[in-house]
Chain A
Amino acid sequence: MNIQLLGMIVLWTFLYGYIIVASIDFGAGFFAYYGKMTKQDHVINNIIDRYLAPVWEVTNVFFVFFFVGLIGFFPSVAYYLGTALLIPGSIALVLLSIRGSFYAFSNYGSKDNKVYLFLYGATGLLIPAALCTVLTISGGGFITEKNGAVQFLAGKLFSSLYSWSVVIIAIISVLYISATFLTYYANRAKDYGALAILRRYALFWSIPTILASFLVFVGLRDNNVHFYQRIIDKYWWMFALSLVCFIVASLLILFKRNYGTAFIFVMLQYFFAFYGYGASHLPYILDPYITIYSGFTVHTAAVALVIVFILGLVLLIPSLIILMRLFLFNADYIQGKK
């Protein structure tokens, strides 16, 4: 395997990691707000807080990792996407900022402030919508280069069926991933009141998840035929596996069994879909301007990045294990005894 592909796989894995942890986080914020509005907060918000409080900062890092790494490995991306995404990127940043700070304001400052909770919960649903437009744009067709100046076709993006189908699946997936995780978490905490509500959310969001994914396929066919064809010809099996994992996860939750396994299947469902999507996208990063070969950095820089990445993991993995053992997988902590 060449280093370009390795670099891309590393970055893609970080993005996948971000999608999972951020979805749990974004969805949890929305459910916390929804819980408050429907006066169920005394049942579910405790569970949500217990999970989120020690890990909220970590979530953000996955995202920063992805874009710092992307610019490091593929500096041309910074030029094209940086120029094109000034406005959508800035809006996404504002949303991320509101969300991050109001989480802290609401959690450490004023626990009962509805405005803080609203800002935190609502932005959580808008951020995936804003961020996933970057994925849409990278598929090609929304950026042109005229006389050396990069232009972003915002009007085309807003009127495209494909772009909206991606937004819809992003929002629905956030709610679905989050609900399935929190169902598992509530079950571990032996908090059966919260479990009943969260399980209902998980089941409720499973139907739109699958409908929206078909919508994306339809949109994709209209937007970029070559890309669509690569999926159908070469990587259809990954999407089929994704569908199987979805069915297994939904059935487990429906029959109230093995919520932990169910969540692993949800992760696998997104793993297959996301990597299948990524593989079909290659070799393009930004269709047709940048491929993983044309936009790649100087070799020495890439080697240094990979070395640092491995050293970083040596440091991070044990730290993450400590974090998880102290909080996520610590029965006493989850149940509120510590």
Chain B
Amino acid sequence: MDMDNVTLSRLLIAMTFVFHIIFATIGVGIPVMIAIAEGLGIWKKDNNYLLMARRWARGYTITVAVGVVTGTCLGLQLSLLFPSFMRVAGQAISLPLFMETFAFFFEAIFLGIYLYTWDRFKKRTSHWLFIFPVIIGANLSAFFITTVNAFMNTPQGFTLKNGVIKTIDPIAAMFNPATPAKSMHVIVTAYTASALILGSIAAVQYLRGKRSEYITKSLRLAVTMGLIFGILTGITGDFSAKFLAKHQPEKLAAMEWHFKTERGAPFIFYGTLNKDTEEVKYAIKIPKLLSFLSFSDFNAKVIGLDEFPKDETPPLYIHYLFDVKMTLVGLMLFMAFIYVLCSRLKKEWMHNKWLLVGLSCAGPFAMASIELGWTLAEVGRQPWILRGYMKVAQGATTASGLGSMFWLFLVLYLLLAIFSIVVIRKMFIQNPPEDEMKYRFNNI
């Protein structure tokens, strides 16, 4: 490829990240769903839920495997593609990276135990308890790794002299201003996406005419949890907006095409932009809403792009990413809401064909909005790799051969994607839940 090293490094790490995040998201959210299903099964003495936990866990092993290997790629690519960045920031982020590995180690040990002890304990709760270390490990590792990303957005806790770090306060670096909002949002969205993906699988089965008790129950459990986590997603999203307004105003301003600092700033949704005149057309414009979302005050002052040098502001196309993301989030939560509403008020509408079609899309929508959200967050801090300290161009590798490495990894990820889909499909299609119910629990 005829591109410079900076572009190629960015493309390659972005590709790894986009691929990894699918599996990482599932990795954080699915154990929670497994715990809920197994817990319900034990509490209600209902084998359907126990089987659900078992089947979800089985599919989970495949996604964990791909998540582990792509995570390893991401970890090493940080040094391979951005060696100059790692020389400077490596020491500040090594603590959370190290802790992330510990958390993952903990998770790996107990996942092994959980998967291979289904029928080993007399008391069912003993086995159930082993999923909790898995959840703790997965959540902690998501938290620690997010603090690293948060640090790159709002670096603090170190002093730099001639490009060399002189003093470090590792704790301050970890608990930087971006950490709380970011980590909460990452974890809660992972729960929401995982629940909705499980819901989508059940909805597709239902549409195909498989209407066993198992499918009905798994659809209801997954979508209900998806809605509950979805509401939390909204709350943490609001924290993120408030965080951006205060600490990363250029990202928010680029996201919202907010060019001039003003009080009572409007919220802009969709529309087109004339870059030269900075004129926005065809947009849905809600007066004063941006100020309210940013500071809980309709007349608060929101900083605009005019307060930053032109070469330190992110690209303006992130506005569209934001629009599409919010639309998808709105749609998927609306569908989950309608479903849960029907389950309470009008049971005969619960399995309306169009509602099920909508729910089948909810999982993919959730994953797409996570990808968009991450792209927004990452592109939104361009041109910085370490905001305010180091630009991406200063961090990228100088080694040759990046072009061929890009293709190598592209082929790898395509292969892994194809094989994971093939293997997971085969796993479940060859062994439908109705049959498994019979041989495992000898009933129905």
Residue pair B399, A86 in contact (C-beta under 8 Å): yes
CA A123 to CA B113, docked complex, whole Å: 26
CB proximity to B under 8 Å, residues A78-119: 78-87, 89-91, 93-94, 96-105, 108-110
CA A298 to CA B89, docked complex, whole Å: 12
* B420 contacts across to A, CB distance below 8 A: 101, 105
Known: A60-B68, A83-B398, A300-B167. A75 touches B91 (CB 8 A): yes
Residue pair B408, A94 in contact (C-beta under 8 Å): yes
B11 CB-CB contact with A under 8 Å: no
- Minimum CB–CB distance from B206 to chain A (whole Å) comes to 25
Binds B, one of A181-189, A240-248, A322-330: A322-330
Contact bitstring A50-84, B, C-beta under 8 A = 1, else 0: 00011111101101110111011101101111111
CB proximity to A under 8 Å, residues B385-434: 397-399, 401-402, 405, 408-409, 412, 415-416, 419-420, 423-424, 426-427
A297 CB-CB contact with B under 8 Å: yes
Residue pair A108, B111 in contact (C-beta under 8 Å): no
B235 CB-CB contact with A under 8 Å: no
A308 CB-CB contact with B under 8 Å: yes
CA A139 to CA B423, docked complex, whole Å: 43
* A93 contacts across to B, CB distance below 8 A: 72-73, 76-77
Residue pair A86, B80 in contact (C-beta under 8 Å): yes
Known: A54-B116, A104-B62. A298 touches B423 (CB 8 A): no
Residue pair B68, A78 in contact (C-beta under 8 Å): no
Q: What is the chain B residue whose CB lies nearest that of A71?
A: B90
Contact bitstring B92-120, A, C-beta under 8 A = 1, else 0: 10110111111011101111110111001
How many of chain B's residues touch chain A, expressed as a range?
Answer: 35 or more
Question: Total interface residues on A, using CB and 8 Å?
Answer: 68
CA A110 to CA B431, docked complex, whole Å: 12
Contact bitstring A115-129, B, C-beta under 8 A = 1, else 0: 000000000000000
A152 CB-CB contact with B under 8 Å: yes
Residue pair A94, B86 in contact (C-beta under 8 Å): no
Residue pair A104, B401 in contact (C-beta under 8 Å): no
**Residue of B64, B80, B88, B426 most packed against chain A (CB within 10 A):** B80
CA A323 to CA B105, docked complex, whole Å: 12
CB proximity to B under 8 Å, residues A130-184: 149-150, 152
Q: What is the chain A residue whose CB lies nearest that of B424?
A: A109
A254 CB-CB contact with B under 8 Å: no
**Residue of B66, B99, B101, B168 most packed against chain A (CB within 10 A):** B101
Pairs A–B under 8 Å by Cβ, sample size 10: A54-B113, A58-B109, A65-B101, A72-B91, A86-B80, A105-B420, A109-B426, A110-B423, A301-B170, A327-B116
